Structure 1
Amino acid sequence: MATQSPFSLFENLIERASATLQPPPWVVDEVQNRIVLLLNHVLQQEPEATARLARQKGRVVLMQWRSFHMALVATPAGLLDRATPGMRADLTLTITETSPFALAQQALSAGKPGVRIEGDVQLAAEVNWLVDHVRWDLEEDLSRVVGDTTAHTVGNVVRSATSTLRQFIGKRPGADKASA
């Protein structure tokens, strides 16, 4: 008799809850605004990224996962803004993996999720470059608030916890199926 993993039971529970519970529109709006602010903060730390985005000014990228979607437009300054409703997407990126746990596992193993790409190939290449080359230096930002030593210590703790979590996820039943 096969036993079901507690991870799959938890995943099924979240799947059913997310199908019936949706956040109010104002929450979605505020979260998307904060995501744009974070993305722009990270982009501003990489001059090559802003130069590449400036060349794509006015182009719209629609990102989708399950029932969530977000449309971003490149600004003349090489940053991002939310696209206004009705703007046509030049590029649509749809994450094909529906399981949040599988996505988390891919992120922890430094993998990329499966993405269906529709639209402008050149814009897709620029987005891919950004994904591959732009990284948030969280430790540097934290050092501005709490100092270098504390930020470095926190960074070491987070790296250690992430490594342990990666090992744990790699050993759980069914982990090989999720990565195949």
Structure 2
Amino acid sequence: MRLILLGPPGAGKGTQAQRIIQRYEIPQLSTGDMLRAAVAAGTEIGKRAQAVMDAGQLVSDEIVVGIVAERIEEADAKRGFVLDGFPRTLAQAEALDRMLDQKGLSIDCVIEFKVDEEALVGRIARRAAETEAAGLPVRKDDNPEVFRKRLKEFRDSTAAVAPFYRERGLLHAIDGMQPVDTVTQSITRVLDEECGVA
């Protein structure tokens, strides 16, 4: 099962990804983690990424897709994987499709977390207040203004990704505002019944 999770920051993708990898025994692929691992391992693509980062530039889609291509060749990804937070743009979605096609693979299912953005901002503000009350450091992402900016970036760049997968009949929307366990049940039902991965 090759699966993509889409949705704005704070929608619960990370939490649900952990449950998916336990249930279906497939790895979660985080582009940030893979990038750091490729750089640390000194792979060919890792060296290219390091040179770009050393120059203070953003790593290109070509390099990111190359790192995904390298990672899915590893033994633990042979049965499938969960991509969380990637692709972020239409160009990345198209590049991912081309790369998988060259390997004779394709995405099986895309889960989109539908959420109320204002409720998410409230959730973040509450989390920050609870963290502060507990005497713990508050993550800089948990500032409502910073979070609103991230939501806008998501809308501007990632909004086009969902229609790309909808046109291919792969997109399944989930109400991300439900309780965590209910969201998990909804995802499991989609994966087992509609994406045929049981």
Common fold by TM > 0.5 = no
Q: Higher relative contact order by CA 8 Å / sep ≥ 6: 1 or 2?
A: 2
TM-score (norm 1): 0.23
TM-score (norm 2): 0.22
